[in-house]
Structure 1
Amino acid sequence: MALRFASAVVAAILGSTTLANAADVVAPYESAPAAPQPATVDYAGADFVFELGIKGIIDPEYLGSDNYKIRPGVILSVEYLNLPGIGSFGGPDGLGFSIGPSFDYVGARKASDHPELSGLDDVDPTYQAGIKASYAWQYAEVYGSARYAFGGAKGFVGDLGANLIARPTDTLTLKLGPTASLASKSYMEDYFSVSPSESAASGGRFATYDAKGGFKSVGVAASARYEFRPDWFLNADASWDRLVGSAKDSPIVKASDKNQYSFTLGISKRFSLDLW
């Protein structure tokens, strides 16, 4: 299922790019059309502009798993925020500095659902909330986020990344770039450590292990975003992450897969509010 979905996402991205490139072909002696610029949105005096939507996600059943599941997710992003006396973040053309909320969710890990984890303690669902900041130019962007995790695992997690940006048409935006994630020691311990009692309960299949904080993964992410009607968007994302450092060396990961893939497909709508 995961591979079929991944193929569909990749085909959609490549198909959109091929059609866009074909539209740019010009006959001899014709002047080439100007490169599409970031679309400028008329906020009509709005102070708060955000996107809200839903998506389907295919990702590993647990961190380090080589099996995948489908789950629902929420799309929430802040496009523009104007704070009187402080300033504004984001803008109609999507360029410059922006700041907004960052959320994530990691499902429960239960040994009863995964025979290969027999002997390990269960980890309840983990919720993450924090902040994300980015700076975008016409053809590139950099971003970072920091979140606090609570529930099954506790601690701090963060993401870093950069993207090259292509705009084949006024309604299609493509992004591709490297990513990295970090986590505190307490968070890493909850997912990757193996206590002496767990090692004994597993019959020695998992050696005792004490995970450390630091980089958790590095990888590559790609996305395609298509505005199929004003303020309505189709969003497709695909990523590959390789667990590194203390996560990679965990007996839990060594027994499964250090390569982790994720695919999402969703729909969202832009909303504008006049607050002040």
Structure 2
Amino acid sequence: MITRTTISACVLTLLLASAAHAADIEETTAVSDYGDSDLVIDLGVAGVASPEYMGSDSYSITPLPTVSVEYLNIPGIGSFGGKDGLGFSIGPSFGYTGKRDASDHRALNGLDDVDATYEAGIKLGYEWNAAEVYGAARYAFGGAEGFVGEVGANAILRPTPTLELKAGPIARFASADYVDSYFGVSAAESAASGGRLSAYDAGGGFTSAGVAASARYEVVSDWFVNADASYEKIVGDAADSPIVAAGDENQFSFKLGVSHRFRLDLF
């Protein structure tokens, strides 16, 4: 188990390192050049330190694959993402939440288990040299059903041609069915908990808001080391849940991984 203090230290270290590096090195505007490629996709793997469940005050590390479509050109339709990685972009967005087994967490005793949830949808964004805005929407199915997504913006700094730093606000939202699956407590569950968790019916809307930062370093051509850190506070109906009251509304995460950029000439 990883403590919240450890995650907080990782987040703070990344943010301070990014700020210090940006202060010492003059900004450049170097961006990618995709040449004649029709599809540019980034595939990798990462280790993610995050809360053991939504609203938890304890943390664990999970390995996850990473997928990002950086550029797509379809003759007769158009291109998404500029040749230099700038401009409008559109691509797939996926999410996964592992099974929440109540017997594994003392704070959840009495609650029903929630099976693994899978999410699939679309992500839109627009990037300039020094900033970007983005949004994603996904349909969730499995343990929880409904719609989820996030919106955010980042300031972007490229101190060298091989280093990219990003930081900015992020907010997440979800439909009522999805939120109630993770934050709601039925009357039967409340009774099974011995009354420790009050019955609660959670509604939809924004579920968290916070800040995120990332660093991406190109070690050799098309091979990257990626680091991401975030702090989010649970808000809205989710924040009023007795599940959160028994855990923590402050949620931290840290991700470290490697990836490779593939360029394909399809047409």
Q: Report the TM-score, using the length of structure 2 for normalisation.
A: 0.94
Please tell me whether Structure 1 or Structure 2 has the larger radius of gyration of its CA atoms: 1
- 2:209 corresponds to which of 199, 218, 222: 218
- 1:38 corresponds to which of 26, 30, 44: 30
The alignment status of 1:72 with 2:74, answered yes or no, reads: no
Displacement of 1:71 in angstroms is: 0.1
Provide the rounded CA distance (Å) in 2 between the counterparts of 1:83 and 1:188: 37
Provide the rounded CA distance (Å) in 2 between the counterparts of 1:64 and 1:9: 18
The alignment status of 1:113 with 2:115, answered yes or no, reads: no
Provide the rounded CA distance (Å) in 2 between the counterparts of 1:259 and 1:6: 10
The alignment status of 1:182 with 2:173, answered yes or no, reads: yes
**What one-letter code is carried by the residue in structure 2 that aligns with 1:57?**
V
- 1:146 corresponds to which of 137, 159, 167: 137
Q: Which residue of 2 aligns with 1:204?
A: 195
Q: Report the TM-score, using the length of structure 1 for normalisation.
A: 0.91
Provide the rounded CA distance (Å) in 1 between the counterparts of 2:7 and 2:54: 20
**What one-letter code is carried by the residue in structure 2 that aligns with 1:7?**
A
Residues 139-159 of structure 1 show CA distances to partners (whole Å, capped at 9, x for unaligned) of 111000000111111110010
Provide the rounded CA distance (Å) in 2 between the counterparts of 1:4 and 1:257: 15
Provide the rounded CA distance (Å) in 2 between the counterparts of 1:15 and 1:137: 23
CA contact under 8 A between 1:17 and 1:168: conserved in structure 2?
A: no
Q: Which residue of 1 aligns with 2:24?
A: 22
**What one-letter code is carried by the residue in structure 2 that aligns with 1:270?**
R
**Among the aligned pairs, what percent are the same residue?**
59
**What one-letter code is carried by the residue in structure 2 that aligns with 1:193?**
G
CA contact under 8 A between 1:52 and 1:75: conserved in structure 2?
A: yes
Provide the rounded CA distance (Å) in 2 between the counterparts of 1:55 and 1:22: 29
Provide the rounded CA distance (Å) in 2 between the counterparts of 1:196 and 1:6: 35
Displacement of 1:14 in angstroms is: 3.9
CA contact under 8 A between 2:93 and 2:122: conserved in structure 1?
A: yes
**What one-letter code is carried by the residue in structure 1 that aligns with 2:152?**
G
**What one-letter code is carried by the residue in structure 2 that aligns with 1:197?**
A
Residues 183-242 of structure 1 show CA distances to partners (whole Å, capped at 9, x for unaligned) of 001101111111110011111111111100111111100111111111011110000111
The alignment status of 1:162 with 2:153, answered yes or no, reads: yes
Q: Which residue of 2 aligns with 1:7?
A: 9
Residues 30-86 of structure 1 show CA distances to partners (whole Å, capped at 9, x for unaligned) of xxxxx411323243x221110000000000000100000100111110111001111
CA RMSD, 1 decimal: 1.6
Residues 82-126 of structure 1 show CA distances to partners (whole Å, capped at 9, x for unaligned) of 011110011232211001111111111111101111110000111
Provide the rounded CA distance (Å) in 2 between the counterparts of 1:90 and 1:271: 15
Provide the rounded CA distance (Å) in 1 between the counterparts of 2:183 and 2:109: 14
Could you say if the C-alpha distance between residues 195 and 15 of structure 1 is closer, same or farther in structure 2, counting changes exceeding 3 Å? closer
Provide the rounded CA distance (Å) in 1 between the counterparts of 2:31 and 2:44: 20
- 1:193 corresponds to which of 177, 184, 194: 184
Could you say if the C-alpha distance between residues 248 and 13 of structure 1 is closer, same or farther in structure 2, counting changes exceeding 3 Å? closer
Q: Which residue of 1 aligns with 2:229?
A: 238
Provide the rounded CA distance (Å) in 1 between the counterparts of 2:241 and 2:8: 27
**What one-letter code is carried by the residue in structure 2 that aligns with 1:68?**
Y
CA contact under 8 A between 1:6 and 1:238: conserved in structure 2?
A: no
Count of matched residue pairs: 265
CA contact under 8 A between 1:146 and 1:158: conserved in structure 2?
A: yes
Provide the rounded CA distance (Å) in 2 between the counterparts of 1:243 and 1:94: 33
- 1:83 corresponds to which of 71, 74, 87: 74
Q: Which residue of 1 aligns with 2:83?
A: 92
Provide the rounded CA distance (Å) in 2 between the counterparts of 1:262 and 1:230: 28
Could you say if the C-alpha distance between residues 204 and 175 of structure 1 is closer, same or farther in structure 2, counting changes exceeding 3 Å? same
**What one-letter code is carried by the residue in structure 2 that aligns with 1:202?**
S
